[in-house]
Structure 1
């Protein structure tokens, strides 16, 4: 059980961010415990040829049998817009004396020993840290960056916009309740409990935020709230982002109904139906297999008509239907389920 004491100033300073490096580190679980993250399997199967050209022994050694990974692979994000290379530079600058300590904390409670492939860190932590950083960089560039990260980034951005709205409109108690059933909040203490999971040597500690605020981090590789193995620095909690199950799907909304199509035209009608959740222009273009410029033109028309709203996360702008847009979307009565498989239709570039 982890207990975080939060004062009013900490609640006021609650913020959201996500991390490219954290997602990279957490994604290593896919290569050792894929069945726990079945929604990712189709995409990761496509990565496998590139993955197998890497130092797979090193990568898989970083994940314990209980899916734990060393804390230095998941540093607390420092900005709301992740930059993998900047985060990797911070990883390379990890104090050598902490590498072996964190490896022991990760593996000794359950495995009883640090894996052979990582044991060299006892005598030469700097060398192992450089090997890990080099391998993660290659893994990022050849496996995650080309296809997986653009989808994941859009999903994580949309989650933050949604959660920030919940916090603003319904308060911290509702936010924490929706994040994970592991979390409980009594107005002063936020508790992560492991009940219901046979987790040996689960982290147990108390931490006082002491005016440092709380950082909430959506991730694609968690089934409940989690934090660091031992309390280090300002508190953060990672939680499963909404919509992770859609990452491997190629989906679009059902075709618009005749009334909505006649009113807006087929391209804009289909686009409006895609804006039930916040989404970026880049992600819309990927889903519809057109250029971002084509999407932007249609979004401008919808925005000028008051049918969409915009929300910013870092450098990204996400679009979502306005209340008027929701009303118009109700004109679509095709009967097809939302999110049906792509059928070859594309958004008109004109």
Structure 2
């Protein structure tokens, strides 16, 4: 059990971040034990051929049989817009002592592939991670980021509507917040209690965890939790829509309106419904022109959400006669 103790000022400093490097590191778990990550199986299968010629010796040394990864693969993101090249540049400057210490924390030793010159070992590791990114992430990262950003927006709405406590308790079944202590149930048998002490708590949505994850060591307070819509990234969605509304708007637009109870981007909706982004855009423009959906910019994405008028239309369509 990991416990973060939050004072009043710490509660006010809870923030969100998105980390491409965290996604890379956590994806090694789905690759190592795909049966334990059913929602990610389509991704594992689709990228298998592209991963055939990677530096598996180096990548395998970044994870153990418990599916633990070294903390240097889980940097605390500075913002929701963190870029991989920035994170890799910082990783390239890691002190040899910390590089070895984080590996020992996972394996009990420094794996042979990373023995010898620390500088050469770090360069080989970064090269292996860049190859993994190019093979398995580059093409789909905009879609992944859209899901992660939509999750952050959803959590922000929860805070505004119901308060921070309800949002924190809704992150995962393995996370509990009692107003002062955030408890994270991990597979680590050791109990740890860490005071935030003004350093802030960062919450990181991820596509590659089922429960919750946290750094192994005593680094900056951070919790990685499962993003909403993990499975929707890989599987086309068919959302039921009220027949009366479908008769007015058409089945596609009624389905989109039904799905937009939570914020989503054009890219995310296209993946969920198995259609092209241009087709989704056409329907969203019509729905927005009618006042049934609203849009807002979040970072580099435009997120859409059902308006009060759209919700009233759906509610009226299913109201008992």
Q: Distance in 2 between matches of 1:329 and 1:82?
A: 37
Q: Are 1:215 and 2:212 an aligned pair?
A: no
Q: 1:95 to 1:115 in 2, by over 3 A?
A: closer
Instruction: Give the aligned length.
Output: 317
Q: Distance in 1 between matches of 2:81 and 2:51?
A: 26
Matches within 5 A, 1:236-251: 236-251=222-237
Q: Are 1:278 and 2:274 an aligned pair?
A: no
Q: 5+ residue gaps in structure 2? A: none
Q: Find the counterpart in structure 2 of residue 7 from structure 1.
A: 7
8 A contact 1:192–1:225 mirrored in 2: yes
Q: Find the counterpart in structure 1 of residue 216 from structure 2.
A: 229
Q: Are 1:125 and 2:118 an aligned pair?
A: yes
Q: Find the counterpart in structure 2 of residue 160 from structure 1.
A: 152
Q: Find the counterpart in structure 2 of residue 116 from structure 1.
A: 112
Alpha-carbon offset, residue 279 of structure 1: 1.0
Q: Find the counterpart in structure 1 of residue 309 from structure 2.
A: 324
Q: Find the counterpart in structure 1 of residue 26 from structure 2.
A: 26
Q: 1:268 to 1:247 in 2, by over 3 A?
A: closer
Q: 5+ residue gaps in structure 1? A: 334-350
Q: Distance in 2 between matches of 1:320 and 1:85?
A: 31
- SS of the counterpart of 1:52? coil
8 A contact 1:31–1:60 mirrored in 2: no
Among candidates 296, 300, 303, match of residue 288 of structure 2: 303
- SS of the counterpart of 1:225? coil
Q: 1:187 to 1:88 in 2, by over 3 A?
A: same
Cα deviation code 1:172-192 (max 9, x no counterpart) = 221121112332323222222
Alpha-carbon offset, residue 166 of structure 1: 1.2
Q: Distance in 2 between matches of 1:291 and 1:279?
A: 12
Q: 1:77 to 1:107 in 2, by over 3 A?
A: same
Deviating more after overlay: 262-271 vs 5-14: 262-271
8 A contact 1:152–1:247 mirrored in 2: yes
Q: Find the counterpart in structure 1 of residue 107 from structure 2.
A: 107
